[in-house]
Structure 1
Amino acid sequence: KKFPKKVNVELSVRFSCLNTKVWTIIQRGNKAVQTALDKSEAVPAAVNKWNKIYNSPLNWKKIFTKTRKTTLDTQLRWFQLRILHRILPTNKYLCMCRIVESACCSFCKQEEETISHLFWHCDIVQVFWAKLKTALNESCENCVEPIFTETLVLFGVKENVVTDRVIDLIIILAKYYIFKCKLQGSTPIAKIFIKSLKQRYIVEKYASLVCNRNHSFNLEWLPYLKLTQAD
């Protein structure tokens, strides 16, 4: 695509102002950019905001690493990153931008719809997590204790708790389901979400075959097979 001469001049000026090292990394492609981001010591503004909300620094290196390792699905990765960077369009944010008239929660209609409220504090969402927890406890041998907390749901980490890749994926999928319910104007129902896991299991299994990691996939999902066979 050709740009007007004036625009080309402006772009040239902007690019010439870039640090040579940064420009070289960009030219090398996505892998080099990802490596540079991993090594960067710059603290995202959202991290400081989250730390302030919870009155203590979280393990952000582990949080961001988990986002990348939990799934190869770029849509889910981008969804989780929008949560971490506090750029997911909740009603509070949309109201500030004058896109919607009310900042109230799409589900309970009682409180402001922030990221924390939408995915954890809302009474209706709490019912969803409680029923999902019950289903996990009854179906999966790895989930003998209550597992859901605010930080685990939002960030994928919980102090003194080790989770496997499948439960990390289920949590992200559950949040994505809640967000879709918000957009569709429906209520999140654990039973419906659990049924959708069967289809997701098939997708993940096919991806494992393509990546030649079928054996490790079967071991990871073995404790959750009963859950994926829900009617």
Structure 2
Amino acid sequence: MKKDEIRFVYERKVNTSTISDILDSLGVDAALNEKIGSINRGDHYFAGFAYTVEWARVRKGADILASQESTWEQVKRFLVPEISDGAGLVYVAGAGPVLTSAALAGAMSCTYFDRLGFEGVVLGGAVRDIPELRELKLPVLASNPVPVDTQGGYRVAGTGGSCVIDNRTVHTGDLIISDSSGTVVVPSALIDTVLERAWKTDEVENEMLRQIRSGSRLPQLVEERRRI
């Protein structure tokens, strides 16, 4: 699947419940922690390839008199300067356990990601500057609002590799799909398989919904179509 093919995913808008069911049948847990939700858009849909930012705690050095790295040096890569075009990409940041006490992004960074063309922002923790974020069309997903940032307490350990959000590892290149029901991660090796099944499932379920609205009985439909 290529970057420009993300447009086709948007056109079909297969919901995250369908993707989750398919991945579950393949033995893969798909959904991100349910605490991670849209912080600025009441209703949203986006899809794209993950581009990850890995955050890590800053630890004390052995020598308390030694100068420490500047906070800017510790965190500046979270702005992914290596990316000039975010179209087809989803910015995904994680620090291991969901980080609720400090923000992994704020208004200026998310506005910048919006300008770069990212499809969405998924943060494995808090975000700040909520009034300004509500001005953006870019969906920003986070666990909670908080005024405190990460400088001094966390550093960026890497970009473009992988990150962990709660118990889920997200790799750069995985497919992220998010809607009002939640956010799912499709491992890159399974993208083609999952989407092919999703198109077929979507057609079946849309037809079932049409028949239910026309008066058909759901128990009979489930037995016939083997879907619920």
With structure 1 as the length reference, what TM-score do the two structures score?
A: 0.20
With structure 2 as the length reference, what TM-score do the two structures score?
A: 0.21
Bigger RCO (CA 8 Å, 6+ sep): 2
Kindly name which structure, 1 or 2, has the bigger radius of gyration based on alpha carbons. 1
Query: Which structure has the highest helix share of the two?
Result: 1
